[in-house]
Amino acid sequence: MDLLHTAPADAPGWSETMFFHAWSPREKVGVFVHTGRWPNDLDLWWAQVIALLPNGELLVDRSWGRATDDRGPATGNLKVTCTTPLRSWRLAFDGAGAICDLSAMAAGPVGAGPARRLSFDLELEAAAPVWDLHGALGIDRLSWASFHHNQGFRTKGSLTAGSQRWDIDGVAIRDHSSGPRDVGQLGGLHFLLLVFPESGRVVNGLVNWRQDGRVDHRTFCTQQAGVREVGTDVRVTGLHSVATHEPRSMDITLQRADHSSEVLKATWLHGYSLTYLQPNENINGVDVVTQPDPLIVTQSTVRVVAPDGEVGYGVIERDYRPSALPSTEER
C-alpha cells in the first residue's frame, strides 16, 4: 500500500502521486511536497516542493528524477522514503527555491525567478492509521485515481532557507494515489486533512464534483485512540478568490448518521496556489493561459478549533475552475 506501485503496461493515463505537508505551529513554517510519475515516462518523477516561511514568503521548486527503489520517489533535489510501511516516513530535500508569495503564484507560473538555498530533513511518525477510501468505502472510480489513502502524522526535523534554520516540531499529513488520472471532467474538489497533536485525533474529508456540479463523492473519517468514525456528509466553506484564498475563516461541518453535527472552525495561516492542466499536468502557480478555464488548486494551511476547544493544524484544499468563482457557499 505505501510502497511504490508497479506501473501497468496496459492502462492508458495511469498515474501515481504522493502528497506531503508539514507544519510547525511554534515556528510558523512548513513544507509542501507533491510528487508523481511523468505521464510520458512512468519511471520519471516530477516533484513540486514549496517552503512556507514567515510573513507569507514562499520558496518554490520543481525537480525531476528517477526513484532508486520502491521505498519512495526521488528527484535531483528530493528523496522520499517510507521507513516503516503504514507508520513512518522521511522527507529530505537539498536544493533551492524561487522566492515568491501567494500574490506572485496567483499571477502566473513560478519557479524560475531569483532563488534562495533550501533544505529540509523531516521524520514523520503516524498519529493514526491509514484511511483507505477503497478499503473503507469501496471508492475506486475517482476521476483522478482508483486507489487513494490519507494519513496524519507528528513530525520533527529541520528546515533551512538561506542563512535561517528552524527546528520543526509539529504535524504532517500525506496521501498516496494511483490509477488513471484525467482532471478534464473534474469540476472541483474540497479536501481536508487535520491533526490534533494533543489527542492524536485525525480528521479526513473529501468532496469532489463534476463540471456540471454533480457531486461524485462526499465522505469524512475521524480517527482517535483506535476508534474510527466514517460519515457521508461533510461540508466546507467555499472559495471567493484564488488570489487571496478568501474567505480565510472556514467552517467544516461533519454531519453524523444520528443527525448530530460537529462544526470545526478553521483559520487560514499560510498558502499557495497551483494548477492542474488536463489530462494530468501539475504547474506551480496559476496558469490560465495554456488551457481555458483550468482547475486551480488552493491549498491553505489552517489552524482548527474543535467544539471542545482542542486545537489542530492541517490543510484545507479548495479546487475550482475560474468560471465557477466566486463560490463561497458550503459544498
CATH number for the domain formed by residue range(s) 14-324: 2.40.370.10
Residues 24, 170 contacting (CB under 8 angstroms): yes
Cell of 19: 502528497
Greatest alpha-carbon span in the chain: 54
Question: Would strands 215-224 and 78-84 be described as parallel, antiparallel, or unpaired?
Answer: unpaired
CA–CA distance, 166 with 161 (Å, rounded to integer): 9
Q: Please give the pLDDT value at position 141.
A: 63
Query: Phi first, then psi: what are they for 95, rounded to 5°?
Result: -175, -130
Nine cell digits for residue 248: 480565510
pLDDT of residue 143: 60
Identify the pLDDT of residue 179: 87
**pLDDT (tens digit per residue) in 264-292:** 999 999 999 999 999 999 999 999 999 99
Would you place residue 144 in the very low, low, confident or very high pLDDT band (cuts 50, 70, 90)? low
pLDDT at 136 over 90: no
pLDDT in tens, 98-117: 999 999 999 999 999 999 99
- Residues 192, 326 contacting (CB under 8 angstroms): no
Q: How far apart are CA 77 and CA 61, in angstroms?
A: 9
- Within 13 Å of residue 4, how many CA atoms lie on the same side as its CB? 22
Residue 12 has pLDDT above 90, yes or no: no
Residue 139 has pLDDT above 70, yes or no: no
- The torsion angles phi and psi of 106, rounded to 5 degrees, stand at -75, -20
Q: What is the pTM of this model?
A: 0.96
Grid cell in block for residue 272: 499557495
AA identity, residue 222: T
CA distance 305 to 263: 9
Domain ranges in the chain are 14-324
**pLDDT score at 145:** 61
Q: What pLDDT is recorded for position 251?
A: 98
d(CA 58, CA 48): 13
Give pLDDT, residue 138: 59
pLDDT tens digits along 17-47 = 999 999 999 999 999 999 999 999 999 999 9
**274 or 141, higher pLDDT:** 274
Q: Minimal CA–CA distance to 151: which of 176, 179, 121, 177? A: 176
